[in-house]
Homo-oligomer: A and B are copies of this chain.
Amino acid sequence: MIANDPIEHLIGLLSRLPGLGRRSARRAVLKMLMDPAGRMLPLAEALQHAAEAVRPCETCGNLDTASPCGICRDAHRDRRLVCVVEGVADLWALERAHAHRGTYHVLGGLLSALGGTGPEDLSIAPLLRRIEEDGIEEVILALPATVDGATTAHYLTDRLKPTGTTVTRLAQGVPIGGALDVLDDGTLAAAFKARRPL
């Protein structure tokens, strides 16, 4: 009797999104219901449009309205540099940081013995094909600094060796603005070991 089906149904769907619990989903729905035409319908349309328009790029795996995606089609991008990422979220993060002027390759996951993810579950064969066909000179592994990330990086390094491409990975160390005394020991030790002359 609190609220009828459409409201409860909507709260249920919203609360399944990451970052939104039931309480905040309720607040969001109430706020939207104050102005359905101005807040609710535009969101419904944006969702529908995105669901219909967005697809994975068949070259790199990025999400975009076209395939090949905007990055793969961009003539200003250096095609000899390919940055390998776990997922689209990491690709977006690197783009926001303007970190990379080449193209990308989305693996779609990481090797994981526990999670049961093997090489055939990841976009590795397409990466090898790209290296062969597109004259790629450097593969930059931008994988997370976790056990699975390191495993995947080692595996890829082995698989890429026969191609003759240079394989690099992101530097590890103290984050910009990071205080030393709150940093975990592993990072601190790695940063110390990899110290560089000023």
Contacts and interface: CB of A to CB of B under 8 A. Distances in A.
B14 A43 contact: yes
B7 A54 contact: yes
B31 A41 contact: no
B44 A3 contact: no
Contacts of A24: 18-20
Nearest to A21: B19
B36 A28 contact: no
A131 to B, nearest CB: 23
A130 to B, nearest CB: 19
Contacts of A113: none
Interface string A43-79: 1111111111110000000011110001100100000
Interface of A: 1-7, 9-10, 13-14, 16-20, 24, 26-33, 36-37, 39-54, 63-66, 70-71, 74, 87-89, 92, 95-96
22 contacts: A1-B74, A1-B95, A2-B92, A2-B95, A4-B64, A4-B66, A4-B70, A6-B46, A6-B65, A7-B50, A7-B63, A7-B64, A10-B43, A17-B28, A19-B20, A19-B24, A20-B24, A30-B63, A30-B89, A40-B48, A41-B47, A41-B48
